[in-house]
Amino acid sequence: MAILITGGCGYIGSHTCIEMIKAGYDIVVIDNYYNSKPEALKRTRELAGKDFPFYECDIRDAEGLKKIFAAHNIEAVIHFAGLKAVGESVSKPLEYFDNNVGGTVTLCEVMRDCGCKRMIFSSSATVYGMKNPSPLNETMEIGGVTNPYGRTKWMVEQVLDDLCYSDPEWSAVKLRYFNPIGAHESGRIGEDPNGIPNNLMPYVSQVAVGKLQQLAVFGDDYDTHDGTGVRDFIHVVDLARGHVKAVAYALAHTGCEAINLGTGHGYSVLDLVKAFEKVNGVKVPYRIAPRREGDIAVCYSDPSKAAKLLGWEAELGLEDMCRDSWRWQSGNPKGYDA
């Protein structure tokens, strides 16, 4: 029996492969390398200390997927594969709906036809939209998402709800990630964005390493303790461990559950910058810039459902996240291209 991991060469996927192997699972990984590199797979295998099958395969390729299901006894799927750049999704909506929604539908069809009806899906706190107040909990109404990327997550959540409703043998865990940052403590794998990063931590660490000159802090006039945006940053290894628990849950239960993966604590943009400087003994020059369109002031989780259903809670703190992000960035200034 094995667990199929789609998008397993990406940022969260690679860390999850390692935690799954540590927990004793056999895994099979697929990725189309759209946003990852073979070097990430090589290092993940090294860190896992155990080899595992890998296929270069697109989740929209039903025939390719069927061959993989025929070759392995897959009992559940952790589904990371997808496109994730908010700005790009505004200019390329069809690509996002095709990959994230169409790709997931194709994957679910193949799973159903092969008798594998258990899925862990990478959703996002973005599905809570602009209006729900933090702490965000899973009973809140979702929607009101401001961009195509977010809408693909919202739509796939509905697809999984309807699928589980239609067939009681299905089990789907929709994990709503807050803001994953950090890297494996070895510094060998981490987040390797293409071009100029959109997200805060990769930008901060590229400024610190000298690749970028200065961080633009998007807004200092929010209603928060220092005026900058507040987020629930979560260490990627904690997040990966949440998937291990979610797999066990999906193997033991049927039905559809949305579960937040966050720490329950909100830190501001400047809290993160200061923690990064202090822990790593580096400078992160910044300037205050106008607010970024589509941003909300405050976003953090109520993580109690994950504690109750999965027996999971985040263990690593902001300092661990800053230290590990820097170990990865400083050791690999060009990411996996070095």
Active site residues: 149
Cα end-to-end span (Å), the chain: 36
Q: Is 203 in the site for ligand UD1 (CB under 6 A)?
A: yes
Closest to ligand NAD by CB, 254 or 302: 302
Going by the DSSP 8-state scheme, the letter that residue 195 receives in this structure is S
> Cα separations (Å) of 37 from 20, 30, 52, 331?
20, 12, 17, 17
Structure tokens at 231: 């987020």
Q: Find the binder of ligand UD1 among 64, 93, 294, 331 (CB under 6 A).
A: 294
Nearer to ligand NAD, 124 or 224 (CB): 124
Residue 33's binding partner out of ligand NAD, ligand UD1, none, with CB under 5 to 8 Å set by partner kind: ligand NAD
Q: Is 105 in the site for ligand UD1 (CB under 6 A)?
A: no
For residue 216, state whether it binds ligand UD1 (rule: CB under 6 A): yes
Does 142 interact with ligand UD1 (rule: CB under 6 A)?
no
* Strands of the sheet with 54-56, listed across from one edge: 54-56, 27-31, 2-6, 74-79, 118-124, 171-177, 255-261
| 295 touches ligand UD1 (CB under 6 A) | yes
Place of tokens 């990371």: 80
Output the six-digit token pair for 278: 């202090």
Of the candidates 84, 210, 78, 193, the residue with the CA atom closest to the CA atom of residue 147 = 84
- Residue 292 binding: pick among ligand UD1, ligand NAD, none (C-beta 5-8 Å cut-off by kind): ligand UD1
Largest CA-CA distance found in the chain, in angstroms, rounded: 56
Using the rule CB under 6 A, is 279 a contact of ligand UD1? no
Shortest distance, position 172 Cβ to ligand UD1, whole Å: 19
Residues in touch with ligand UD1 (CB under 6 A) = 84, 86, 124, 126, 150, 179, 198-200, 203, 215-218, 229, 231, 269, 292, 294-295, 299
